[in-house]
A = this chain, B = another copy of it.
Amino acid sequence: MHENLTLLTDFYELTMMQGYYKNNTNERVIFDVFYRTNPSGSGYAICAGLEQAIQYIKELNFNYDDISYLRSLNIFDEDFLHYLAGFHFSGDIYGIPEGTVVFPMEPLVKVIAPIMEAQLVETALLNIINHQSLIATKASRVCYAAQGDAVMEFGLRRAQGPDAGTLGARAAVIGGCAGTSNVLCAQKFDIPALGTHAHSWIMSFPDELTAFRIYADLYPNNTTLLVDTYDTLRSGVPHAIQVFQELRDAGKMPVKYGIRLDSGDLAYLSKKARKMLDDAGFPDAGICASSDLDEYLIDSLKTQKAAIDSWGVGTNLITSKDCPAFGGVYKLAAIEKDGKFIPKIKLSENQWKITNPGNKTVYRIYDKESGKIKADIIALEYEKFDENETLMIFDPISTWKKTYLDPGTYTVRELLVPIFKNGTCVYESPSVREIKDYCANELNTLWDETRRLVNPHDVYVDLSQELYDLKYSILDSMNTRNPK
């Protein structure tokens, strides 16, 4: 995604921009990016994509071709096109760092800017954040199921286009994958490129044994042989063992070696292959499995004690197959009038779909002893919480459900950090390896009950008393049963 993405926006952002322009409406506004439901039945999500979102904002610029194209549509006036030609982003952006564990309703990104600018960036911000958060979350689930085994991202051929393969693999590594088969991603983001050979390698030689021998000779540091081209247990594994024996006899044992299973009953085949390798004196030979894996299948194979120690995961991870979209939305929270932000609400028939108004931030409350997350509080941006005072938190729908946290038993951390100030980027993105390490620590702040794959425990996301009061005072004033 290196081309100019300025026109990567919904058409209505531009028609609305022109509307604001011609109406001389360009007050500063606040928009929040948030989502309502964790993907794939997860108890949490991992936010990702901020680095690409920053790059997008920095490079926003309508070039000559863009202006000519918009002019050709005969819907935009010259004065507005002239404004676009000089456009750059001048606002403030706050964001939750990539790799952070997040929950529904929390602002992941907050844009404070003149409405024309804030409106333009909606679509691309959502596109980038939704995609990478989706895949990072999915990867964290797959890696959780693999219980510490290496998980390799192998999905490029089934990804939804080149970016989905490359940025998806980036997100997968943030979520916990050891590396990717995608060389472009490995190059761009300095992460390990992984893989060995395909069935076509075996088929291009007169027989399997010859193909294995030549491969082992070529790659003496990592000799992983794909054993299922003809018959796994009667041909592939015996031939692999024969080659390993020849290498040992020649004093050329590879540092890392083993086999890869890519079809069939992985539980049965891996146990049989393990025994054959052990009996032949190769207990340290690895067994890698691939073949339509996802977190549930890996979990099942672990339960069945399959003898697999690394996993190649393709389609189901790179597309987040059971839930291929992250439902991030971009909602207006406030409009500035006379130097003051007036909070705004978008109504809905569903109480939990009603947006939270005002200029907000997110505080995370940790249990001081264990370091685990107690709850998150969405608050107004000026509110502070003193760790030396009793903290009362309450459910924003079932408000009678209250919890009191004693002074000194909890710590508080603000999640949103400044990314842009007056159009200038004030944030330096960490490397993907750093984000991956940070994310691993983040996942450790979740209780096991929240990490489990099915029916996880929900983490409390509460509103501060001030935000709650503000929200319901606006709702009351809207008197929606009898609109004028």
- Between A8, A14, A65, the greatest number of chain B beta carbons within 10 A of the residue's beta carbon is seen for A8
Are B158 and A214 in contact, CB atoms less than 8 angstroms apart?
A: no
Q: Say which size band chain A's interface belongs to.
A: 35 or more
Residues of chain B with a CB closer than 8 A to A161's CB: 1, 127-128, 131-132, 160-161, 163-164, 167-168
Are B160 and A159 in contact, CB atoms less than 8 angstroms apart?
A: yes
Partner of A131, one of B122, B164, B231: B164
Are B263 and A165 in contact, CB atoms less than 8 angstroms apart?
A: no
Are A218 and B22 in contact, CB atoms less than 8 angstroms apart?
A: yes
Interface string of A43-71 (1 = CB under 8 A from B): 00000000000000000000001100100
In the assembled complex, A140 has its CB within 8 A of some CB on chain B? no
In the assembled complex, A473 has its CB within 8 A of some CB on chain B? no
Residues of chain B with a CB closer than 8 A to A29's CB: 204
Residues of chain B with a CB closer than 8 A to A475's CB: none
Identical copies in the complex:
2
In the assembled complex, A472 has its CB within 8 A of some CB on chain B? no
CB interface residues, A 75-124, toward B, < 8 Å: 75, 115, 119, 122-124
A-B pairs, top 10 by smallest CB distance, nearest first, are A12-B195, A161-B163, A163-B163, A11-B195, A126-B157, A324-B324, A160-B164, A7-B184, A10-B181, A319-B324
Apart from the given pairs A15-B218, A126-B158, A263-B348, 20 other A-B contacts in the complex at a CB distance below 8 Å? A1-B162, A5-B162, A8-B184, A10-B181, A10-B183, A12-B196, A16-B198, A16-B201, A19-B197, A31-B200, A73-B193, A122-B198, A127-B157, A130-B157, A158-B325, A159-B160, A163-B163, A203-B335, A203-B344, A321-B324
Chain A residues with a Cβ under 8 A of chain B: 1-3, 5, 7-16, 18-20, 22-23, 25, 27, 29, 31, 65-66, 69, 73, 75, 115, 119, 122-124, 126-128, 130-132, 134-135, 154, 156-168, 181-184, 186-187, 193-201, 203-204, 214-215, 218-219, 221, 229-231, 234-235, 263-264, 315, 319-321, 324-328, 330-332, 335, 344, 346-349, 480, 483
